[in-house]
Amino acid sequence: MSVTDELLDLALHIAKQAGEMLIDRPASWDLTFKSTSIDIATQMDIASEKLIVNAILEARPDDGIIGEEGADRASTSGYTWVIDPVDGTVNYFYGLPGWNISIAVKDSQGVVVGVVHAPTINSTWHATRCGGAFLNGQPIGCNEPIELNRALVATGFAYDVKDRTNQLELVNHLLPHIRDIRRIGAAATDLCFVASGIVDAYLETGLKEWDLAAGALIASEAGAVVTTQNWRGMELTLAAGAHLHGVIHAEIPA
């Protein structure tokens, strides 16, 4: 078994362990407020990250870790894990579907393994660099080509409400020209929906490395173009098949 296969097997196993723990939602909540008063973490985000970190270090003690809830460990092996223990915390808190556990592994050349496990929708996506993308073990591909007037576009909105004015301008500009908008509530799931052809495109500002790492690899390996550019002082991520990506990119207002 190659190192990549070993990393993938471990990431899949850990993600499903975390999912089993998270699916049993608590009766009461301990909330931590992060960047703003609506950007929250729960005790379950912290417990999930602890479970994931402990499992990684038990199997691979020399690997590095970057985690949304504060895990930070330098690598001496050449591999670093990038984890979002609950991507879509607001969905999770409200009991809405679509939240996920996102786990990626990167080396000096970029992300080599990506796993996104969304237990409430019975979906586990994975990809390896140059190895294709899969949903529940079956190969997947993005929708291509799709014209703008037939595009179902997923998006999300910033926790910092002052950024939402610009985001709304972008959505308002696109909405008359597309099929419709969807708001899933979890970035990695959105990216995997592009990979699976469930939506045609996804765009959002302000994503962090742990939001993007696994889902972007999966979408790219499914044939999508995934880019992040500076836009009005924010980082704007766009994922879609090559044709639609080019059309939407040209429609982004200055």
3-41 b/e (C-beta count within 10 Å ≥ 16 → b): ebeebbebbbebbebbbeebeeeeeeeeeeeeeeeeebb
Looking at the predicted structure, is the pLDDT value of residue 130 above 80?
A: yes
Q: Which of the four pLDDT bands, split at 50, 70 and 90, describes residue 38?
A: confident
> How many CB atoms neighbour CB 229 within 10 A?
11
192 and 221 fall within a common domain: yes
Where is the domain boundary, 112, 139, 166? 139
Residue 152 sits in a domain whose CATH number is 3.40.190.80
pLDDT tens for each residue of 57-84: 999 999 999 999 888 999 999 999 999 9
135 and 43 fall within a common domain: yes
104 and 8 fall within a common domain: yes
133 and 170 fall within a common domain: no
Burial label for 84, CB within 10 Å (0-12, 13-18, 19+), is buried
pLDDT for 19 equals 98
Instruction: Please state the pTM of the whole predicted model.
Output: 0.96
Please state, in angstroms and rounded to a whole number, the distance separating the CA atoms of residues 80 and 104. 8
50 and 112 fall within a common domain: yes
34 and 116 fall within a common domain: yes
Mean pLDDT rounded to a whole number for the chain: 96
Q: Residue 171's domain spans which residues?
A: 148-251
21 and 121 fall within a common domain: yes
Where does residue 245 fall: left (phi above 0), alpha (psi -120 to 50 degrees), or beta otherwise?
alpha
Q: Please, are residues 121 and 132 in contact by the beta-carbon 8 Å criterion?
A: no
Number of domains into which the chain is organized: 2
Torsion angle in degrees (nearest 10) through CA of 43, 119, 135, 98: -70
26 and 135 fall within a common domain: yes
